[in-house]
Chain A
Amino acid sequence: MATLSAGTTRPSLTRSLVGKKVVMAVTGGILFLFVVGHLLGNLKVFQGPEHFNAYAEGLRTVGAPFFGRGWVLWIVRSVLLASLFAHIWAAVGVTRASWRARPVAYHRLDPVETTYAARTMRWGGVIIFVYVVYHLLDLTFGRLNPSFVPGDVYHNLVASFQRWPVSVAYIAAVVVVGLHCYHGLWSALQTLGLNRPPTVAWRRRVAGGIAAAITAGYIAIPAAVLGGVLR
Chain B
Amino acid sequence: MRVTLHVWRQAGPVALGKFVRYDVSDVSADMSFLEMLDVLNQQLIGRREEPIAFDHDCREGICGACGMVINGRPHGPQRATTTCQLHLRSFPDGAELWIEPWRARAFPVLKDLVVDRSAFDRVIQAGGFISVRTGSAPEANSVAVAKQDADLAMDAAACIGCGACVAACPNASALLFVAAKVSHLGLLPQGQPERASRVVNMVTQMDAEGFGACTNHGECMAACPKEISIDFIARLNRDYVKAAVRGKAHAAQGNGGAA
Contact = CB atoms under 8 A, between A and B. Distances in A.
Interface stretch (A1-9, A38-46, A131-139, A168-176): A1-9
Interface band, chain A: 35 or more
A107 B201 contact: no
A107 B19 contact: yes
Given A10-B200, A18-B237, A105-B103, A2 B213 contact: no
B209 A102 contact: no
Nearest to B243: A11
Interface residues of B, number: 63
A32 interface: no
A192 B239 CA distance: 10
Contacts of B243: 11
B72 A101 contact: no
B106 to A, nearest CB: 7
Contacts of A22: 237, 240-241, 244
Contacts of A197: 231
A167 to B, nearest CB: 32
Interface stretch (A61-69, A72-80, A108-116, A213-221): A108-116
Contact of B205 (A5, A12, A21, A108): A5
Given A8-B197, A113-B217, A16 B207 contact: yes
B71 A2 contact: no
Interface in B183-212: 197, 200-201, 203-212
Given A102-B103, A108-B71, A187-B216, A193 B235 contact: yes
Nearest to B235: A193
A8 B200 contact: yes
Residue of B175, B205, B234, B235 ringed by the most chain A CB atoms within 10 A: B234
B69 interface: yes
Contacts of B119: 1-2
Interface string A71-107: 0000000000000000000000111011111111111
B71 A110 contact: yes
A43 to B, nearest CB: 31
B200 A11 contact: yes
A8 B201 contact: yes
Given A100-B210, A102-B212, A119-B170, A195 B231 contact: yes
B216 A191 contact: yes
Interface in B65-115: 69, 71-73, 98, 100, 103-106, 108-109
B215 A4 contact: no
A115 B192 CA distance: 36
Nearest to A111: B219
B43 interface: no
A interface, over-half SS: loop
Contacts of B223: 112
Interface string B14-50: 0000010000000000000000000000000000000
B163 to A, nearest CB: 13
A18 to B, nearest CB: 5
Contact of B240 (A18, A97, A194): A18
Interface of B: 6, 8, 19, 69, 71-73, 98, 100, 103-106, 108-109, 118-119, 122, 125-126, 168, 170-173, 175, 197, 200-201, 203-219, 221-223, 230-231, 233-241, 243-244, 248
20 contacts: A5-B208, A9-B204, A11-B240, A13-B244, A16-B204, A17-B203, A17-B212, A18-B203, A21-B213, A21-B214, A101-B106, A102-B104, A106-B103, A107-B19, A112-B223, A113-B218, A118-B218, A189-B234, A191-B216, A195-B231
Interface of A: 1-5, 8-13, 16-22, 93-95, 97-114, 118-119, 121, 183, 186-187, 189-197, 200
Given A106-B72, A110-B73, A193-B239, 13 more contacts: A5-B205, A8-B201, A12-B244, A17-B203, A18-B175, A97-B212, A102-B103, A111-B219, A112-B73, A189-B234, A190-B216, A190-B230, A197-B231
